[in-house]
Structure 1
Amino acid sequence: MSAAPPLEGPTRGRRATRRAARRRAPVRSVGGTLVVWLLLAVASTAWWPVHRDGSMVTAGVTAVVAGTAVALTGALGRLSAAVVGVLTVAVFTVTGVPAAVPGESAGLLPTGPGLVDLFAGVALDWKRLVTVSLPVGSYESLLVPYFVATLVATVTAVTVAVRASRPETASIPALVLFAAGVVVGPSRLDLSVATAVVLGGIALVWALTVRHARRAVAVATTVGARVPVWRSVARPALVGTGTVLAAAVVATGLGSVAPPTVGRSVARTDVVRPFDPRDEVSPLSAFRSYEEPGAADAPQLRVTGLPQGGFVRIATLDTYDGVVFRVGGDDGSSASGTFERVPTTVDVGDVRGSDVRVGVDVAAYRGVWLPTVGDLESVTFRGADAEQDRRSFFYDRATSTGAVVGGVGTDTRYDLEAVLPDQPDDEQLASARPGTADVPSPTGVPDAVRERVESTTADARTPGEELVAAVRWLTSTGYVSHGVGDDRASRSGHGADRIQELLTAPVMIGDQEQYAVAAALMARQIGFPSRVVMGFTPGGDVRRSSSEPGSAAAGPSGGATTLRGSDVTARVEVDTAQWGWVTLDPNPVLREIPDEQDQTPQPVTRPETVVPPPPVEQQDQDQQAPPQSDRETPPVPPLWLQVLLAALPWVLATLGFLALVLLPFAVVLLRKRLRRRRRRRAPTPRARVTGAWEEYRDALVDRGHEVPGAATRREVVAGAPGRGGAGLAALADRSVFGPGAVDAATADRMWSATDEAIASLADDRTRRQRWRAAVSLRSLRSAGWWGRRRPATRRRPSGAVRPSGTDRHDQGRPGAGDYDGPEAGERRGRPSEDRGEP
Structure 2
Amino acid sequence: MARSGPRSGARAARRRRAAPLRLVAGTLAVWLLVALASTAWWPIHRDASMVSAGATAVVVGSVMALLGAGMRLPAAVVSIATVVGFAATGVPAAVPGAADGPLPTVPGLVDLFSGVALGWRQLLTISLPVGSYEALLVPYFVSVLLVTVVGVSIATRASRPELASLPALALFVTGTVFGPTRLETSVWLGVLLAGIALVWALTVRHLRRAATVAATTGTRIPIARAVVRPALVGTATIAAAAVVATGLGFVAPPAGTRTVARSGVVKPFDPRDQVSPLSGFRAYEERGRAEQPQLTVTGLPAGGFMRIATLDSYDGVVYRVGGPDGDAASGSFERVPTAVDTRDVRGTAVRVVVTVDGYRGVWLPTVGELTSVSFRGPDADRERTAFFYNRSTGTAAVVDGVSDRTRYTLSAVLPDQPTEDELRDARPGDAVVPTPRDVPAAVQDAVRADSDADTSDGAQLLAALQALQRNGYVSHGVGDDRPSRSGHGADRIAELLTAVPMVGDQEQYAVAAALMAQEIGFPARVVLGFTAGGDSGARDTTSGATTGRTTFRGSDVTARIEVDTAQWGWVMLDPNPAVREIPDQSDQTPKPVTRPETVVPPPPAQQLDQDEQTPPQADRDTPPTQPVWLQILLAVLPWALGVLGLLALVLLPIATVVLAKRLRRRRRRRAPEPRTRVVGAWDEYRDALLDGGHDVTPSATRREVGAAAPGEAGAVIAADADAAVFGPSDVDDAVADRTWAAADGAIAALRAGRGRRDRFRAATSLRSFRRSFRR
Report the TM-score, using the length of structure 1 for normalisation. 0.80
Q: 2:573 is matched with which residue?
A: 584
Q: 2:177 is matched with which residue?
A: 183
Provide the rounded CA distance (Å) in 2 between the counterparts of 1:64 and 1:221. Answer: 34
Once the two structures are superposed, residues 773-829 of structure 1 have per-residue CA deviations (whole angstroms, 9 ceiling, x without a partner) of 2213289667x469xxx9xxx9999xxxxxxxxxxxxxxxxxxxxxxxxxxxxxxxx
For residues 654-665 of structure 1, the aligned pairs below 5 Å read 654-662=643-651
Q: 1:75 is matched with which residue?
A: 69
Shift of residue 328, structure 1, vs aligned partner: 1.4
Distance 1:341 1:621, change over 3 A: closer
Shift of residue 22, structure 1, vs aligned partner: 4.0
Q: 1:632 is matched with which residue?
A: 622
Q: Which runs of 5+ in 1 are unaligned?
A: 718-724, 763-769, 798-838
Shift of residue 39, structure 1, vs aligned partner: 1.3
Provide the rounded CA distance (Å) in 1 between the counterparts of 2:520 and 2:740. Answer: 91
Q: 2:392 is matched with which residue?
A: 398
Secondary structure of 1:243's aligned partner: helix
Name which of 583, 588, 594 aligns with 2:583: 594
Q: Which runs of 5+ in 2 are unaligned?
A: 723-731
Provide the rounded CA distance (Å) in 2 between the counterparts of 1:796 and 1:242. Answer: 28
Secondary structure of 1:378's aligned partner: strand
Indicate if the aligned counterparts of 1:157 and 1:173 stay in contact, CA closer than 8 A. yes
User: More deviation in 96-105 or 83-92?
Assistant: 83-92
Provide the rounded CA distance (Å) in 2 between the counterparts of 1:669 and 1:201. Answer: 34
Provide the rounded CA distance (Å) in 1 between the counterparts of 2:521 and 2:333. Answer: 27
The reply on whether 1:606 has 2:597 as its aligned counterpart is yes
Name which of 109, 128, 138 aligns with 1:115: 109
Name which of 777, 792, 798 aligns with 2:762: 777
Provide the rounded CA distance (Å) in 1 between the counterparts of 2:46 and 2:681. Answer: 60
Shift of residue 598, structure 1, vs aligned partner: 2.5
Distance 1:168 1:712, change over 3 A: closer
Q: 1:498 is matched with which residue?
A: 492
Structure scoring higher RCO (CA < 8 A, sep ≥ 6) equals 2
Name which of 117, 123, 129 aligns with 1:129: 123
The reply on whether 1:96 has 2:94 as its aligned counterpart is no
Q: 1:340 is matched with which residue?
A: 334
Indicate if the aligned counterparts of 1:689 and 1:751 stay in contact, CA closer than 8 A. no
Distance 1:460 1:412, change over 3 A: farther
The reply on whether 1:308 has 2:302 as its aligned counterpart is yes
Q: 1:197 is matched with which residue?
A: 191
Letter in 2 for 1:775: F
Secondary structure of 2:281's aligned partner: helix
Secondary structure of 1:777's aligned partner: helix
Name which of 126, 140, 152 aligns with 2:134: 140
Q: 2:421 is matched with which residue?
A: 427
For residues 253-264 of structure 1, the aligned pairs below 5 Å read 253-260=247-254, 263-264=257-258
For residues 713-752 of structure 1, the aligned pairs below 5 Å read none
Indicate if the aligned counterparts of 1:296 and 1:565 stay in contact, CA closer than 8 A. yes
Once the two structures are superposed, residues 79-112 of structure 1 have per-residue CA deviations (whole angstroms, 9 ceiling, x without a partner) of 2222221221111111111111111111111111
The reply on whether 1:326 has 2:320 as its aligned counterpart is yes
The reply on whether 1:30 has 2:20 as its aligned counterpart is no
Letter in 1 for 2:429: G
Name which of 156, 162, 168 aligns with 1:168: 162
The reply on whether 1:360 has 2:349 as its aligned counterpart is no
Secondary structure of 1:588's aligned partner: coil
Distance 1:333 1:255, change over 3 A: farther
Name which of 558, 561, 565 aligns with 1:572: 561
Q: 1:461 is matched with which residue?
A: 455
Once the two structures are superposed, residues 43-69 of structure 1 have per-residue CA deviations (whole angstroms, 9 ceiling, x without a partner) of 111111100000000001111111111
The count of residues paired between Structure 1 and Structure 2 equals 760
Indicate if the aligned counterparts of 1:100 and 1:141 stay in contact, CA closer than 8 A. yes
Indicate if the aligned counterparts of 2:429 and 2:569 stay in contact, CA closer than 8 A. yes
Q: 2:518 is matched with which residue?
A: 524
Shift of residue 183, structure 1, vs aligned partner: 1.0
For residues 6-25 of structure 1, the aligned pairs below 5 Å read 7-8=2-3, 13-25=7-19
The reply on whether 1:438 has 2:432 as its aligned counterpart is yes
Distance 1:785 1:697, change over 3 A: closer
Indicate if the aligned counterparts of 1:289 and 1:622 stay in contact, CA closer than 8 A. no
The reply on whether 1:388 has 2:374 as its aligned counterpart is no
User: More deviation in 247-256 or 44-53?
Assistant: 247-256
Q: 2:753 is matched with which residue?
A: 761
Provide the rounded CA distance (Å) in 2 between the counterparts of 1:372 and 1:44. Answer: 35
Provide the rounded CA distance (Å) in 2 between the counterparts of 1:132 and 1:337. Answer: 14
Indicate if the aligned counterparts of 1:89 and 1:660 stay in contact, CA closer than 8 A. yes
Indicate if the aligned counterparts of 1:668 and 1:777 stay in contact, CA closer than 8 A. no
Provide the rounded CA distance (Å) in 2 between the counterparts of 1:621 and 1:736. Answer: 81
Once the two structures are superposed, residues 471-529 of structure 1 have per-residue CA deviations (whole angstroms, 9 ceiling, x without a partner) of 22211221111111111121111122222221222211111111111111122222221
Secondary structure of 1:341's aligned partner: coil
Q: 1:815 is matched with which residue?
A: none
The reply on whether 1:562 has 2:554 as its aligned counterpart is no
Provide the rounded CA distance (Å) in 2 between the counterparts of 1:199 and 1:284. Answer: 53
Provide the rounded CA distance (Å) in 2 between the counterparts of 1:684 and 1:35. Answer: 42
Indicate if the aligned counterparts of 2:75 and 2:654 stay in contact, CA closer than 8 A. no
Shift of residue 680, structure 1, vs aligned partner: 11
Shift of residue 688, structure 1, vs aligned partner: 13
Specify the structure having the higher radius of gyration (Cα).
1
Indicate if the aligned counterparts of 2:322 and 2:328 stay in contact, CA closer than 8 A. yes
Distance 1:537 1:35, change over 3 A: same
Shift of residue 662, structure 1, vs aligned partner: 4.9
Letter in 2 for 1:649: P
Q: 1:150 is matched with which residue?
A: 144
Once the two structures are superposed, residues 416-442 of structure 1 have per-residue CA deviations (whole angstroms, 9 ceiling, x without a partner) of 111111222212222222222221122
Letter in 1 for 2:162: E
Provide the rounded CA distance (Å) in 1 between the counterparts of 2:324 and 2:46. Answer: 34
Shift of residue 628, structure 1, vs aligned partner: 3.4
Indicate if the aligned counterparts of 2:117 and 2:641 stay in contact, CA closer than 8 A. no
Secondary structure of 1:340's aligned partner: coil
Once the two structures are superposed, residues 587-636 of structure 1 have per-residue CA deviations (whole angstroms, 9 ceiling, x without a partner) of 1111111122232245202346545387999989998316633x325415
Q: 1:252 is matched with which residue?
A: 246
Secondary structure of 2:367's aligned partner: coil
Q: 1:510 is matched with which residue?
A: 504
Secondary structure of 1:775's aligned partner: helix
Provide the rounded CA distance (Å) in 2 between the counterparts of 1:795 and 1:429. Answer: 75
Provide the rounded CA distance (Å) in 1 between the counterparts of 2:608 and 2:183. Answer: 54
Distance 1:219 1:514, change over 3 A: same
The reply on whether 1:271 has 2:261 as its aligned counterpart is no
Indicate if the aligned counterparts of 1:131 and 1:273 stay in contact, CA closer than 8 A. yes
Shift of residue 385, structure 1, vs aligned partner: 1.2
Q: 1:51 is matched with which residue?
A: 45
Provide the rounded CA distance (Å) in 2 between the counterparts of 1:735 and 1:61. Answer: 54
What root-mean-square deviation, in Å, do the aligned CA atoms of Structure 1 and Structure 2 show? 4.3
Letter in 2 for 1:569: T
Letter in 2 for 1:206: W
Indicate if the aligned counterparts of 2:447 and 2:519 stay in contact, CA closer than 8 A. yes
Q: 1:243 is matched with which residue?
A: 237
Provide the rounded CA distance (Å) in 2 between the counterparts of 1:297 and 1:20. Answer: 90
Q: 2:468 is matched with which residue?
A: 474
Once the two structures are superposed, residues 175-198 of structure 1 have per-residue CA deviations (whole angstroms, 9 ceiling, x without a partner) of 100111011100011224332222
